[in-house]
Amino acid sequence: MSALEAALLEETALRSRLNALVREHADALKEAERVQVQASRPDADPDLTATAGRWSAVAARLAAELDEHRAKLREQQALVERLKVEDAGG
Amino acid sequence: MEALVIVVVVLLAGGAAVALARRGRQPERERPPALTPAAEQAALHGDVRRIRPGDVVNHDGTDYIVERTMTFDEGGFTWQEHFLTDQVAGRRTWLSVEDDDGLELAFYERVTGVTLEPGPGTLTHDGVTYERDEQGRASFRTDTLDGPGESGQVEYADYAAGDRLLAFERYGQGGWEVSAGTVVSQHAIEVYPRS
């Protein structure tokens, strides 16, 4: 496998991971909101507020991971671009 | 005879020069075919022509999940409209992808509470005057993550005012659905395909 092919493969893997992260982030946000609504009811289990907080923390961690992977994708795109130029130059 | 000898000598010298030149040259590496600008774009940002349900489309810092894709066919010419949701802010939008002498992408949002109907050469909506661009009938089919969905016929009319678009669609015996759109550059879109 050439360096360019390996770089393209890595780019594909990053995009796939980003797809999964976007979904996980959306799910965590939804879950945090759902539990928070339950926690705000008068007869709610007092532990629910903490559970909602944990889901919010998960969402925040996933958001940070998303940013990190987007940055990695940009770096990978730059690498792919450079390898293409090198390839074209012979 | 002298002339013949000179010709033979010149040919031999020429052959030797070519052989020497070949020996000195590095073997040529096989180069991959040059990518077209569209293929280059596809490789760098994900292929907008191959968006399908479950993919994520990032535009202007927002991630949208592709909920369903409608493929239209009018006499063999096809285009797609993808229904996207921003799961964080709850926004819903449509992304139209049309490859007609170049890739045309536009984001649309449904317009409600208006009594606009297609027909006239120009239409004014929200202070913008649009000119009729094209209209016709097409067949459509819908795809979701769960598999094929609805299919049928649609009547459409498109109006444009520069980068601003106004689209009308009528499915079956229903009324006209109106959407307002904006043309976007394919370079402004990133696709994260589902595995």
Q: What is the pLDDT of residue A39?
A: 94
Q: Which residues contact B108 (CB under 8 A, 6 or more apart)?
A: B81, B93, B94, B95, B96, B165, B167, B179, B180, B181
What are B90's two structure tokens? 């709850």
B195 in contact with A at a CB cutoff of 8 Å?
yes
In Å, how far is B5's CA from the nearest CA of chain A?
Answer: 43
Cβ proximity of B165 and B31 under 8 Å = no
Q: What is the pLDDT of residue B56?
A: 97
pLDDT tens track for A12-56: 999 999 999 999 999 999 999 999 999 999 998 989 999 999 999
Q: What is the pLDDT of residue B38?
A: 60
- Per-residue pLDDT for B184 more than 70? yes
Show the CA angle centred on residue B143, arms to residues B82 and A13, nearest 5°. Answer: 70
Q: Which residue would you say has higher pLDDT here, B2 or A33?
A: A33
- Per-residue pLDDT for B147 more than 60? yes
Q: What is the pLDDT of residue B122?
A: 95
Of B32, B34, B56, the CB nearest to A19: B56
Tell me the ipTM for this assembly: 0.88
pTM attached to this predicted model: 0.81
Q: What is the pLDDT of residue A26?
A: 94
Q: Alpha-carbon distance A61 to A25, whole Å?
A: 9
Residue with the two structure tokens 């096809």: B78
Average pLDDT (B120-137) is 94
A23 in contact with B at a CB cutoff of 8 Å?
yes
